[in-house]
Each structure stands twice: as structure tokens, then as C-alpha cells.
């Protein structure tokens, strides 16, 4: 095997290992104001327009399936049915797939 082939093989192996351990983008929703953010890590607890600071809940991995909450009509694109996090419409989000 040539040095070039070995280097190329090592690059592909390392790239594959990195992809397997990459964090998945998540959907975060504030329990107070229903702001939706899509990112890998918990958003900063910035000032919430309702009161105090945002209270973030990760409800699902981002994906292609569209879901809507029956109570507040918030729509999210998720890989699977989102978790029933606190809903400003009362109680917890009730998700329906569109």
C-alpha cells in the first residue's frame, strides 16, 4: 500500500468516527413563552418576554416530520414524536403528526 492510500484510508476512518459521535441538533422550547430554538446544546437562559429567564426543554431531535401541538398550535420538524414538555396552553404539549 502506498503512503497516499494509507493516508486516505485513515482520513475516511477518522471522518466516519467523528460523524458517529457528532451531536444531533435538538428542538428546544421555552416553557414560558413557547419560543422554539433548534441547536445541539441547551440555549442560554436569556431574558424571557413573559417573565424572568427562559426555561428550556429539549423535546426532540430535529427531523423531517412535522408535528403540531393541539393546545398552542406550535409546529416543529422532528425525527419522532416530541416529548410532552410544559405548554403555555396549559399542562403539556399534545403533539399530532401532520
**10 part of a folded domain:** no
Question: Domain of 70?
Answer: 25-97
Would you state the cell numbers that stand for residue 92, as one nine-digit string?
A: 403539556
Would you state the cell numbers that stand for residue 76, as one nine-digit string?
A: 416543529
By C-alpha distance, which of 58, 72, 67 is closest to 27?
A: 58
pTM above 0.75, yes or no: no
Q: Which of 13-17, 25-29, 78-82 has the lowest mean pLDDT?
A: 13-17
**9 part of a folded domain:** no
**4 part of a folded domain:** no
**12 part of a folded domain:** no
**50 part of a folded domain:** yes
Cα(82)–Cα(19) distance, integer angstroms: 24
**3 part of a folded domain:** no
**16 part of a folded domain:** no
pLDDT at 19 over 60: no
Q: What's the structural domain count of the chain?
A: 1
Amino acid at each position: 500500500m502506498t503512503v497516499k492510500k494509507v493516508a486516505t484510508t485513515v482520513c475516511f476512518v477518522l471522518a466516519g468516527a467523528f460523524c458517529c459521535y457528532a451531536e444531533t441538533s435538538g428542538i428546544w422550547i421555552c416553557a414560558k413563552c413557547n419560543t422554539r430554538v433548534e441547536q445541539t446544546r441547551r440555549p442560554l437562559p436569556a431574558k424571557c418576554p413573559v417573565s424572568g429567564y427562559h426555561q428550556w426543554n429539549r423535546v426532540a431531535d430535529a427531523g423531517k416530520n412535522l408535528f403540531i401541538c393541539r393546545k398552542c398550535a406550535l409546529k416543529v420538524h422532528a425525527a419522532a414524536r416530541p416529548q410532552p414538555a410544559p405548554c403555555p396552553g396549559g399542562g403539556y404539549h399534545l403533539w399530532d403528526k401532520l
